[in-house]
Amino acid sequence: MEIDTPFYKKRLKSRREELLAMLETAKETVKPVELDQSSVGRLSRMDAMQAQEMALALERRRVEEVSRIGAALIRLEKGEYGYCLNCEEPIAPKRLNFNPSVLTCIECASKKG
Ligand SMILES: [Zn+2]
């Protein structure tokens, strides 16, 4: 299987930069919720905490993606890129093109759930 490594390398790196920039921005917004008892009602406090939960979950996903991209780049260097981490079968080019940081084939990904 021929893989256009420079193409994926470029995409992985620019995606990583994008994620790192987003994480940097998020640092400003994901701060502990300040519970101002006097001005914030119970409901809006819950809203604020819920919003923070969502922001943290998003941040976790981004951090995970950054580390997956790192792993993908290492595999690229080693010439193992594009092969499933699990079963070592080639990953469908369509899947790779949709998300260059995927490390497993569709079968293994769906087995894992
Ligand atoms: Zn697999």
Give pLDDT tens digits for 13-57: 999 999 999 999 887 765 666 655 555 566 788 888 898 899 999
Ligand 1 centroid to residue 7 C-alpha, Å: 23
Tell me whether residue 22 is in a domain: yes
Quickly state the pLDDT bin for 95 (edges 50, 70, 90).
Answer: very high
Give the alpha-carbon dihedral of 12, 17, 19, 23, to 10 degrees: 160
Tell me whether residue 87 is in a domain: no
Q: How many residues does the chain have?
A: 113
What is the percentage of the chain residues whose pLDDT exceeds 70?
Answer: 85
**Which pLDDT value is given to residue 28?**
73
Ligand 1 centroid to residue 33 C-alpha, Å: 42
Q: Which two tokens stand for residue 110?
A: 């769906």
**Which pLDDT value is given to residue 108?**
95
Tell me whether residue 109 is in a domain: no
Number of structural domains in the chain: 1
pTM metric for this prediction: 0.78
Quickly state the pLDDT bin for 92 (edges 50, 70, 90).
Answer: very high
Residue indicated by tokens 């995927």: 102
Tell me whether residue 108 is in a domain: no
Tell me whether residue 11 is in a domain: yes
Tell me whether residue 100 is in a domain: no
Tell me whether residue 88 is in a domain: no
Ligand 1 centroid to residue 36 C-alpha, Å: 50
Ligand 1 centroid to residue 110 C-alpha, Å: 9
Ligand 1 centroid to residue 53 C-alpha, Å: 32
Ligand 1 centroid to residue 109 C-alpha, Å: 7
Residue indicated by tokens 């009602």: 41
Tell me whether residue 49 is in a domain: yes
Using DSSP, state whether 23 is helix, strand or coil: helix
**Which pLDDT value is given to residue 44?**
83
Ligand 1 centroid to residue 76 C-alpha, Å: 17
Cα 25 to Cα 43: distance, rounded to the nearest angstrom: 27
Domain that holds residue 64: 5-82
